[in-house]
Amino acid sequence: VVNQKNRGYGLAADIWSLGCTVLEMLTSQIPYSHLEGDIFQMQALFRIGRGELPRIPNSLSREAQDFIVKCLQVNPDNRPTAAQLMDHPFLKRPLSTFSSPASHHYIGVRMFKWQYAEEGKWLGSEACAMH
């Protein structure tokens, strides 16, 4: 939501959302999902307010970690613009190639390996660690 009168949220909020979305796509877990209880969302808000980032696994590439950290800056003025993110190494990195006979589809920043039964029916997807 862009509000020209400095009320509400601006474009930087979309960058925050992008960081959360990329993190969720790469880990298959929502940010701050390690928090427990019925009020985990409230706990997450307090942690965000204190500048605490969600857990970003070391198993992600340095480029992916850096991309997410840049998007999740608490101060919106410190977040990069969408144009700046387009030049980030995480997005510039070439896609991996696969020699597997299974078909592969690239969706956003996440790779899915589609598995088919002998009859050609879709059985599900398996996340492939790409970045």
The pLDDT of residue 112 is 36
Rounded to whole angstroms, the Cα distance separating 27 from 29 reads: 5
The residue-averaged pLDDT of 11-16 equals 92
Q: 55: which 2 tokens?
A: 């857990």
Q: Which is nearest to 19 in space by CA: 80, 62, 77, 61?
A: 80
Selection from 43, 8, 44 nearest residue 23 by Cα = 44
Q: Which amino acid is at 64?
A: A
| Domains and their CATH numbers in the chain | 1-93 (1.10.510.10), 95-131 (no CATH)
Task: Answer yes or no: is pLDDT of 99 > 80.
Answer: no
User: What does the pLDDT look like over 48-86, one tens digit per residue?
Assistant: 888 888 899 999 999 999 999 999 998 999 999 999 999
Please give the share of the chain, as a percent, with pLDDT higher than 90.
40
**pLDDT score for 85:** 95
